[in-house]
Amino acid sequence: MKPIEINETMTWKLPTFTLIALATLASGCSGERSGATGWAYNNTQNGGFEKQAFFSQETAPGLVFIEGGTFTMGQVEDDLTMNWDNIPRRVTVSSFYMDETEVTNSFWLEYIFWLQRVYGDSYPEVVKRALPDTLVWREKLSFNEPFVNYYLRHPAYRDYPVVGVSWNQANNFCKWRSDRVNEQLLVREGLIAHNPDGQIDEDHFTTETYLSGQYQGEPLAEGLKDYRPNSSGYRQVGFSDGLFQPAYRLPTEAEWEFAALGLIGNSYAELIRDRRTYPWDGHYTRDDNSRSGSYGSMNANFARGRGDYMGVAGNLNDGASATAPVYEYSPNDYGLYNMAGNVNEWVMDVYRAYNAVDAEEFRPFRGNVFETVQLNSAGSIADKLDYVVYDIASLEADIRAYQNVAAKNFTDEEQNLVDNVFTAIQAAKEDEKLKRQEEAMEQVAEGLELIIDSELLLAPDLIDLFVDNVSSVPGELQRRNMTVQESLGRDNYREADNIDYKDGDFQSSIYYGDDGFKQQENRMYGFGKTSLVNNRSRVFKGGAWNDRSFYLSPGTRRFLDEDKSSAAIGFRCAMDRMGSQTMNSPR
């Protein structure tokens, strides 16, 4: 194989990538010189510094472009719930991309299928971690078993929004989707072979492991031409080449609200002519445009009133008893479907009543925990994980809570099993204290094996607790929070975890100055006693099929713990826009 070198006679061999990043990798292709030094770019004799041609970010699958700007974030109508948690404030969000629709059951089944193929034999807990909670449909005085049994997998529901997924599960899907899109780009450009059967356990593509040289795949070409004098003559694709997409992620609350309002349709020059209550014009939940072909029809899927979820037979109002297909109603002015109704949607932010007051005016967000990749003793990126990582402290707490409820029904054999599991966890905690993570996870894995081998009736319950506390999976790079020592001398931040900054941390609590209280959790909110708010409370927005019209307003907000789910909450992904904030301008 020879390295790929793009020139005027070969551009046809890479039909798409040539349009975005690599059109001028060959020496002398453009003859451009540095404006700082005068040396020519892409020239081995000058040291080989490369400057690639780049025209614009390619729109990734499923996304539409959202041109950012300033808007008044917060409530636009009476605060019927009297929560006072969405005070209006002017902010600015950068341009970004967002999914055209909510993530569907079909997308989620594709995700589960991939996990089963890669991890199913060796790490079934990784697959189980991704399964939606179909039991969220159950109500004590309602017959919803058909949704429990069929909603996720029946083909009639494949284009309906996935529900029963927690905030944590939604984030895991975003990471998986990012890697699959970037892998497909490498395959599309003929750089690696499409080899699904060869990707097992930790030996599979992720963007981070590819860029760090820890995954090679099956190369179809030696790589891109490397102009460095002492190189082997070729190199792998790097992020600076412009081929790889930024990561899919959940939108921030500000981004979601901005996109839902779609004020671009109500703007003239720098003026916004009309403020919106909903993602459409007017103040009605029906289409009030007499010139529209859908005049009088419902604009969203929601509960119109007590006991009215779909209207009268022969003249259904929104046409859906519960959720509806993701393309069922008209899009807003950004081309986004169901930004009101159908299902609520997770956003990235941690909930605080005064987020709008405390957060920055530019790209406001609460929830930053600054991380970095783990390095080895030589200062290089540590080897990717080849084992499952568990949150040991949380796992222990969950098993103790289970024991406290169920212990009175334990047999002697079951109690003995639980005691042995706690012994394994205690050994894992000791290893973790000594920063021996791999040894600690081996101890946890041994505890899990004890459960699997026991064949006791409580084994499935205990296995579920292990599944709920999986934090990292094989094939990922090891990551950790930034330390205070690494942040010395910084003025913009010192600690890695800034979730409760100005609202929940020790300095902002009424106990400031009480050293004895400093180390205690729940300093301000008293979670479980006086409040349901904690650092794991995540915002969801948009209203759902079982909500009244009040919640269709983009400014309304509610919260739920990040590990919980609902039959009325789904999500959609977002992606950062690189460079120009418009689609048509080079600025």
Cα-based angle 556, 172, 578 (whole degrees, multiple of 5): 75
What's the token pair of residue 183? 């892998």
Give the pLDDT confidence score for residue 48 in this predicted structure.
Answer: 86
Segment 209-231 mean pLDDT: 87
Q: Cα separation of 118 and 418, whole Å?
A: 31
Give Cα 348 to chain centroid, integer Å: 8
Which of 472, 494, 517 is the endpoint of a domain? 472
Q: Would you place residue 2 in the very low, low, confident or very high pLDDT band (cuts 50, 70, 90)?
A: very low
Give the pLDDT confidence score for residue 521 in this predicted structure.
Answer: 54
Specify the DSSP element, H or E, that contains 246.
Answer: none
Give the pLDDT confidence score for residue 318 in this predicted structure.
Answer: 86
Counted domains in the chain: 2
Is residue 526 over pLDDT 90? no
Give the pLDDT confidence score for residue 520 in this predicted structure.
Answer: 56
Is residue 30 over pLDDT 60? no
DSSP string for 189-229: TTSB---GGG-BTTBS--HHHHHTTS----BSS--EE---T
Q: Cα separation of 219 and 235, whole Å?
A: 11
Q: Cα separation of 578 and 36, whole Å?
A: 24
- Calculate the alpha carbon distances from 562 to 524, 539, 569 in Å: 20, 9, 12
- Calculate the alpha carbon distances from 280 to 66, 245, 498, 553 in Å: 16, 31, 36, 10
Segment 344-353 mean pLDDT: 96
What would the pLDDT profile of 116-160 be if each residue is shown by its tens digit?
Answer: 999 999 999 999 999 999 999 999 999 999 999 999 999 999 999
DSSP string for 266-289: GEETTEE----SSSSSSS-SB---
What would the pLDDT profile of 71-99 be if each residue is shown by its tens digit?
Answer: 999 987 777 777 888 889 999 999 999 99
CB distance 452 to 421 below 8 Å: no
How many CB atoms within 10 Å of residue 312?
A: 8
The mean pLDDT of the chain is 88
Domain assignment present for 149? yes
58 Cβ contact partners less than 8 Å away, ≥ 6 residues apart? 20, 245
CB distance 219 to 296 below 8 Å: no
Domain assignment present for 432? yes
Which of 472, 491, 518 is the endpoint of a domain? 472
Task: Identify the DSSP state of 159.
Answer: T
What would the pLDDT profile of 250-304 be if each residue is shown by its tens digit?
Answer: 999 999 999 999 988 887 778 777 778 899 988 888 887 767 777 778 889 999 8
Give the pLDDT confidence score for residue 294 in this predicted structure.
Answer: 73
SS3 145: helix
SS3 467: helix
- pTM metric for this prediction: 0.91
Of 147, 273, 190, 211, nearest to 18 by C-alpha is 190
The end-to-end CA distance of the chain, in Å, is: 40
Give the pLDDT confidence score for residue 12 in this predicted structure.
Answer: 32
Is residue 506 over pLDDT 90? no
SS3 18: helix
Is residue 517 over pLDDT 90? no
Domain assignment present for 53? no
Which of 211, 241, 270 is the endpoint of a domain? 211
| Burial readout 497-525 (b: 16 or more C-beta within 10 A, e: otherwise) | ebbbbebbbbeebeeeeeeeeeeeebbbb
Give the pLDDT confidence score for residue 163 in this predicted structure.
Answer: 98
Sheet of 574-576, strand order: 63-66, 96-99, 574-576, 248-249
Domain assignment present for 164? yes
Give the pLDDT confidence score for residue 136 in this predicted structure.
Answer: 97
- Residue written as tokens 């709008």? 356
Q: Cα separation of 47 and 49, whole Å?
A: 6
- Calculate the alpha carbon distances from 373 to 128, 266, 380 in Å: 26, 44, 10
Domain assignment present for 65? no
How many CB atoms within 10 Å of residue 465?
A: 19
Per DSSP, the chain holds a count of helices (H) and strands (E) of: 11, 20
Is residue 396 over pLDDT 70? yes
Q: Would you place residue 23 in the very low, low, confident or very high pLDDT band (cuts 50, 70, 90)?
A: very low
- Calculate the alpha carbon distances from 299 to 233, 251, 286 in Å: 59, 23, 5
Is residue 55 over pLDDT 60? yes
What would the pLDDT profile of 530-545 be if each residue is shown by its tens digit?
Answer: 788 999 999 999 999 9
CB distance 428 to 422 below 8 Å: no
What proportions of the chain, in percent to the nearest 5, are helix, strand and coil? 30, 15, 55
Sequence-ordered alpha helix ranges (H) in 457-533: 459-468
Is residue 226 over pLDDT 90? no
Domain assignment present for 463? yes
Range of the domain at 109: 105-211
Cα-based angle 182, 582, 173 (whole degrees, multiple of 5): 30
Q: Would you place residue 391 in the very low, low, confident or very high pLDDT band (cuts 50, 70, 90)?
A: very high
Q: Is the dihedral of CA 186, 190, 196, 202 positive or negative?
A: negative
Cα-based angle 158, 468, 395 (whole degrees, multiple of 5): 180
Q: Cα separation of 421 and 32, whole Å?
A: 65
Task: Identify the DSSP state of 528.
Answer: T
Domain assignment present for 451? yes
Is residue 341 over pLDDT 60? yes
Q: Cα separation of 340 and 317, whole Å?
A: 16
Segment 223-233 mean pLDDT: 82
